[in-house]
């Protein structure tokens, strides 16, 4: 039996995580879920948003499924998501972007992957007030981190049948920091002659994504650009409520949806759990449970080819009823 840490988060997190657990159980894969707290629930229980006990559990099992956690805007505690990734050195953020047949969107057949460096850039959190009214925030780019994320992206592409890597940058302006990122990526690219490689300035890449997303395959990003472009990409196929995510390191991996905690609808049984369920699919495949992951994804795709929808997509199904439908499709699929 596999031991997996379950971090439900806050807001709609407990609801959508419970839904994912039910759907995964329907595959027959035996899992012992180990509950752990993060963010607001952890502050209430332990006085800190990132308890040592939670970190220890993830280190011990090497794997976690995580719900959304709230981050105060402009005040309060720092992002616990960023702190978790940095503390556990979950250096690679992986966001596959593939639409569902039946979900109306501007584009057909979108199928790309966002790879994002997870530990540095402006998300290093190094800021200070120079004088009253003037704040400085430092962007950190290192050859080590840039090379490591480039290797991850090229290895992922090579092992998943992808054909091209596009490095995203702003080296025309940030010649030293983004220049170092590109120099590091180019050195790695030379070792993968079977993969096409190109580069795009981030503002042009944003425009190209909404004009013709099919030109992209794997997009390799620094931290901030990857955060922004992954959300943009989600908008091409129906929104953040449909897409999974993973944070992967050498020793641990945490799988989570990228959407927010949506406290305004928490407890109302109207949240769409698809993104967390699909994150569970990524987790199962990471663990070698390929057939189980395929059954769940197949059930979701079969459901979305039908007429029923959750409230966020214009339908009437709540979280619990949607989950029942998917569990039935998994069990009988």
Sign of the dihedral through C-alpha 248, 249, 253, 259: negative
DSSP-based three-state secondary structure for 294: helix
Q: Look at phi and psi of residue 101 and say left if phi exceeds 0, alpha if psi is from -120 to 50, else beta.
A: beta
Sign of the dihedral through C-alpha 14, 69, 308, 95: negative
Q: How many CB atoms lie within 10 A of CB 131?
A: 6
CA contacts within 13 A on the Cβ side of 204? 11
By annotation, the residues acting in catalysis are: 123, 170, 203, 227
How many residues appear in the chain? 333
One DSSP character per residue, 200-251 reads EEHHHHHHHHHH-GGG-SEEEE-HHHHHHHHHHHHHHTT-GGG---EEE-SS
Q: Across the chain, how many H-helices and E-strands are there?
A: 11, 12
Q: Any residues with CB less than 8 A from the CB of 23 and at least 6 apart, and which?
A: 277, 280, 296, 299, 323, 326, 327, 330
Q: In sequence order, what are the beta bridge partners of 4?
A: 33
d(CA 95, CA 257): 9
Are the beta carbons of 5 and 64 closer than 8 angstroms? yes
């Amino acid at each position: 039996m596999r031991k997996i840490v379950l971090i439900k988060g806050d807001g709609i997190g407990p609801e959508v995580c419970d839904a994912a657990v039910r759907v995964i159980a329907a595959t027959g894969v035996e899992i012992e879920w180990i509950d752990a707290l993060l963010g607001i629930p952890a502050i209430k229980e332990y006085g800190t948003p990132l308890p040592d006990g939670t970190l220890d559990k993830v280190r011990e099992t090497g794997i976690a499924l995580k719900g959304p956690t709230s981050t105060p805007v402009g005040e309060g505690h720092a992002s616990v998501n960023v702190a978790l990734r940095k503390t556990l050195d979950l250096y690679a953020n992986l966001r596959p972007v593939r639409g569902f047949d039946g979900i109306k969107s501007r584009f057909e057949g979108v199928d790309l992957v966002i790879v994002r460096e997870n530990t540095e850039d402006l998300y290093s959190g190094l800021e200070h007030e120079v004088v009253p009214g003037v704040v400085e925030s430092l962007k950190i780019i290192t050859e080590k981190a840039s090379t490591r994320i480039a290797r991850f992206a090229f290895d992922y592409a090579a092992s998943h049948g992808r054909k091209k890597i596009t490095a995203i940058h702003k080296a025309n302006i940030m010649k030293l920091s983004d220049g170092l990122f590109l120099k590091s990526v180019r050195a790695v690219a030379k070792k993968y002659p079977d993969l096409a490689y190109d580069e795009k300035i981030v503002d042009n890449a944003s425009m190209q994504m909404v004009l013709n997303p099919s030109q992209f395959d794997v997009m390799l990003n620094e931290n901030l650009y990857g955060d922004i472009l992954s959300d943009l990409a989600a908008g091409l196929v129906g929104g953040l409520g449909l897409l999974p995510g993973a944070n992967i390191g050498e020793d641990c991996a945490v799988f989570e949806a990228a959407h927010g905690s949506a406290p305004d609808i928490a407890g109302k049984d109207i949240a769409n759990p698809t993104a967390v369920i699909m994150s569970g699919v990524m987790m199962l495949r990471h663990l070698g449970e390929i057939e189980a992951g395929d059954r769940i994804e197949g059930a979701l795709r079969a459901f979305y080819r039908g007429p029923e929808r959750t409230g966020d997509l214009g339908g009437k199904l709540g979280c619990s009823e949607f989950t029942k439908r998917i569990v039935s499709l998994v069990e009988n699929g």
